[in-house]
Amino acid sequence: MLFCIRQSSFSIPKVLQKVAAITPAQVFRLKMSQLQFNQRVNPTTGKMEWVAQNKEDYDYFQDVARSSYADMLHDTERNQMYYKAIKLAVKSMHERGKRAKVLDIGTGTGLLSMMADTAGADSITAIEVFEPMAEVARSVTAANGFGKINVINKHSTEVAVGEDKDMQEKANILVTELFDTELIGEGALKAYQHAHKNLMEDDCIAVPHSATTYVQLVESDVMDSWHSLNPIEIPLENGLSTDIYPDPRMEKCPGVPAVHDIQLSQIKRSEFTALTDAVEVFKFEWGSKTLAASGKSYVETTTVNSGKVQVALSWWTLSMDQKGEIILSTAPYWYHPTPDNMQWRDHWIQSVYFIPKPFNMIQGETICIFAFHDAYSIWFDAKPKKTDIIIPHERPVCDYLPRMLWSRPRLGMLNDANRNLAFSKALKKVKFGESVDDVAVCVSDVSLLPLIACKTCFTNGHIYSIENDSIGQKGIRNIVKKNGLDERVSVVEKFPPDDSTPDKSNYQINLLLGEPFFNASFLPWHDLRFWYARTDLQSYLAAEAQILPLKAHLYIAAVEFENLWKIRAPVGIVEGFDVSVMDGMIDHAMEMKDYHEAEPHALWEYPCKLLSDPKSVMTFNFSNPVPDKEIVSVGDLSLDLYDNTSTRTCHGVVLWMVYDLDEEISISTGITERKGFTAKWNIHHKQGVFFLRKPLTLKYMKNEKVDYEIAFIPTTGSFNMKFNIQAR
């Protein structure tokens, strides 16, 4: 095991530094006592390691910085609608001749509590379970002069009412923002149930008042490719083709029933066919004491187009007030009440669900939609209208474990015809299989490369497919067997497969293959794990061994985001309330870090403009093992990709990998097409994004640049990055 301990993490109390008699061993024990150790698998090296973190130095506002709080506070529509509804609730309670006693569950920055105070609430209790945010709420409310607000750092189900307890009396206005993309995924139902039973008076007012969930059934090969492994057609010579067939158990398994949340408005209308109109399936009355933790709904509707029922798209609306006059919608643009003036947000997007057993429908036929929910999730099913229809009762269960390893982006990759064609073309150029003794090894998780190779060009030789996970081994073995290749492809946990110490001459690798792809990867460069695997296999590589891909390149580009910048931008003033205290806390936390950190985002969901040409800043040659010394790249990006009559803002830098399969064929995990400053991003991969804390406004071609300093650390497989903008 590897212990990663930064020397700078240690700090000794000054009083102990003055004790001359303290021994080196005591100093070490004291230092170690200040650390907490977290075990993890390094996503790049694939090795198990322990990461040490100084308990006192860790600043949880780094977590706040990466959360959705800024996104929510930049959601002007949300803020204004909450404010209006809170004012109406306080007014209504006063008109009843009662004191307005507000309970704000999940207060975050305290914004909604400050709104309640300004609206005239007589007492306000704000509950926040996340300690750093509770501290933010106290600081923000105090800075704005709201001394009436009582911030409690507890889960709402732990709050007690009574003399000398958290709340002196029950509240009569319940203000919450406990919703996620699926509406109830953050435990809203349980929180409401507990609050109504223990914390609220009987005739309370809830803000928001209710929520309605909608669903629309569609046909979409694009979205279905994220759910099912389809037969893969591989072109051969002379216009012929061959297919790789999935295991029937993969096809029959309904898959993981969890929601797939995306920015649905980024799906083109040409990429799906609406089969029904949107229909209402659930209504949640947040002010009701009879709110159920589970439920089901049955709706009949008429198909508006013919097609295959594959996907259920879902979103919701909030009725903020009791009269239903203030409505917040999370619908995609084609169903939004104001499509030309939609509020962008990332904390509430839309949900994609997959019908367990797709079926065909004709326009004008009646279709039955079944909706279900438990305390934390929603799921759907659909069937043609029949007299003997049986309503499903149980949630679909993924009963084939290998299916659970195939993430939705991974299925999209494997179903991508262009991607498969690129691998097929590259493999055809490889000299392999001239002898039955040739050996190839494939290093990638749940990979079909060995099957593509055998089906297209390798007539001889044997391929070992390394799968570290036993469930993954089972899944790939079954697909290999389904395609009649079990004599040509062996799925193994390691190479060589023999546990005894083999004669290495019997295990010479003529070809090392990789996509590369690994389940544990979440940043583009984590798939450099292939390089580490190649290094571990160095002693088994034949003198003339071929490696595919040949090399990888780290690319970067400066960008202007249309909206994504909001999730990390300083908040400042929100509806007249100063939230800049939180901005300062986050700035301080981020300044403590020696290097900048990128975060993963699927940029096909977040439109942006290039402000610089993409630039390769680092190359990793897989022909050689991982080096001992750091690889360092220092330079700059010229911000010159914009019209000199326009004003642009540089929000950050995007990073991605490009893999050269050979000298002519490459696969990009980032930009796949480009026209001027418009880029099309790979839909199957997340790119790395570094956000500038202080974006730069560009005017009239002043020759601004982004300076970068990037170092690859071979011992840990990590990158140290620094980006700075300086006006020239």
Q: Annotated catalytic sites, by residue?
A: 177, 186
Query: From CA 150, how far away is CA 190, in angstroms rounded?
Result: 23
Give the chain's radius of gyration (CA, Å). 29
Residue with tokens 């879902």: 314
Per DSSP, helices labelled H in 537-579 are none
β-pairing, 489-492 vs 462-466, is parallel
Tell me which residue of 69, 154, 67 sits closest to 110, measured CA to CA.
Answer: 69
With contact defined as beta carbons under 8 Å apart, do 271 and 226 qualify?
A: no
Query: From CA 26, how far away is CA 42, in angstroms rounded?
Result: 31
**Cα 282 from chain centre:** 27
β-pairing, 171-176 vs 200-207, is parallel
Kindly give, in sequence order, each residue whose CB lies less than 8 Å from that of residue 511, ignoring residues fewer than 6 positions away: 430, 432, 438, 439, 440, 441, 545, 546, 547, 548
For residue 259 the two structure tokens come to 């929601």
For residue 267 the two structure tokens come to 């799906």
For residue 204 the two structure tokens come to 């309370």
Q: DSSP letter for 360, please.
A: E
With contact defined as beta carbons under 8 Å apart, do 599 and 692 qualify?
A: no
47 exposure class (CB count in 10 Å sphere: 0-12, 13-18, 19+): middle
For residue 516 the two structure tokens come to 């590369």
449-456 and 417-428 helices cross at what angle (nearest 10)? 60
β-pairing, 350-361 vs 279-285, is unpaired
With contact defined as beta carbons under 8 Å apart, do 40 and 10 qualify?
A: no
Query: From CA 622, how far away is CA 532, in angstroms rounded?
Result: 9
449-456 and 470-482 helices cross at what angle (nearest 10)? 20
Tell me which residue of 491, 505, 499, 493 sits closest to 533, measured CA to CA.
Answer: 493
With contact defined as beta carbons under 8 Å apart, do 634 and 618 qualify?
A: no
**Cα 566 from chain centre:** 17
SS3 label, residue 566: helix
Tell me which residue of 163, 369, 209, 201 sits closest to 275, measured CA to CA.
Answer: 369
111-118 and 131-143 helices cross at what angle (nearest 10)? 30
With contact defined as beta carbons under 8 Å apart, do 561 and 74 qualify?
A: no
